[in-house]
């Protein structure tokens, strides 16, 4: 089966491409480096020739409100009609757990716009919402940093490692489309301040994490439901502490 992975040269995309190739599928890693530009449409139709499945793991290079909305809307509008014309049978998109609960954020408004365009298209789909990745915990720390102090809320999270995200996406890609949404998360819940505290300790980072219920997550207020999955998510097997030790 031919599968096109848009964003196939990134953190998740590279892993998805490898996992699908290991299963014997013909996989095209479509990205700027391979001559595919979702913002202009260049190379999209060519990449989709003969494809049965598309996996979209692209992300905006800018998180500024207008830029991120433009990226996800433009990419979807260049991708989805081309998929319909090529006869693609399943569009799999990576999204974020909590998208519908964090619409005060420009990034999450853009992800919701992307999801709505997917649902309105003629291509059967599955949207995979993932929790935050282990690999981005350092960026969370930086977002709350003020000198030697990192100020973060005690909001509950259930982060997941990128390898487990890629494995889930590969499984979804070769299954029948759900025309709905599934959630994936790590095996255990943990509060954001404690997550970063463990990460800094394991990284021998001398900064101190201060718990502040009024602190935000990238500028957006969060609570225990904002970043955690609902009932019956698919759980990745990798525990955060095991990942820290392996690093």
Pairwise CA distance, residues 116 & 96, whole Å: 14
pLDDT attached to residue 234: 97
* CA atoms of 73 and 93, how far apart (whole Å): 13
Ordered structural domains, the chain, with CATH: 2-246 (3.40.50.720)
- Six-digit token pair at 175? 């299954």
This prediction has a pTM of: 0.95
Residue 123: in which H helix or E strand, if any? none
CA 29 to chain centre: 17
How far apart, in Å, are the Cα atoms of 189 and each of 49, 132, 139, 186? 42, 12, 19, 8
Residues 142, 133: Cα–Cα separation, whole Å: 15
Q: What is the pLDDT of residue 103?
A: 96
Give the Cα separation of 93 and 80 in Å (integer): 11
Digitized pLDDT (tens) for each residue of the chain, 247 residues in all: 999 999 999 999 999 999 999 999 999 999 999 999 999 999 999 999 999 999 999 999 999 999 999 999 999 999 999 999 999 999 999 999 999 999 999 999 999 999 999 999 999 999 999 999 999 999 999 999 999 999 999 999 999 999 999 999 999 999 999 999 999 999 999 999 999 999 999 999 999 999 999 999 999 999 999 999 999 999 999 999 999 999 8
pLDDT of residue 247: 84
Indicate the Cα dihedral angle 138, 143, 148, 153, nearest 10°.
-100
C-alpha dihedral, 7 to 12 to 14 to 16, nearest 10°? -100
């Amino acid at each position: 089966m031919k599968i096109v992975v848009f964003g196939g040269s990134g953190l998740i995309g590279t892993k998805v491409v490898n996992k699908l190739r290991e299963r014997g599928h013909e996989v095209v890693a479509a990205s700027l480096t391979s001559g595919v530009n979702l913002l202009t449409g260049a190379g999209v139709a060519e990449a989709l020739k003969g494809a049965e499945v598309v996996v979209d793991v692209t992300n905006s290079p800018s998180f500024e409100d207008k830029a991120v909305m433009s990226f996800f809307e433009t990419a979807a509008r260049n991708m989805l009609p081309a998929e319909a014309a090529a006869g693609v049978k399943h569009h799999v998109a990576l999204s974020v757990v909590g998208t519908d609960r964090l619409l005060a954020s420009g990034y999450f408004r853009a992800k919701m716009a992307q999801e709505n365009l997917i649902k309105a298209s003629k291509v059967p789909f599955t949207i995979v919402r993932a929790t935050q990745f282990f690999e981005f915990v350092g960026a969370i720390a930086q977002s709350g940093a003020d000198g030697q102090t990192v100020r973060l809320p005690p909001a509950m999270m259930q982060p997941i490692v990128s390898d487990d995200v890629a494995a889930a996406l590969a499984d979804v890609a070769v299954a029948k489309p759900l025309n709905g949404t599934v959630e994936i998360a790590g095996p255990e819940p943990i509060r954001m301040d404690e997550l970063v505290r463990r990460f800094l300790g394991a990284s021998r980072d001398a900064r101190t994490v201060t718990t502040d219920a009024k602190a935000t997550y990238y500028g957006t207020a969060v609570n225990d439901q904002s970043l955690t999955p609902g009932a019956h998510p698919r759980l990745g097997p990798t525990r955060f502490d095991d990942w820290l030790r392996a690093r």
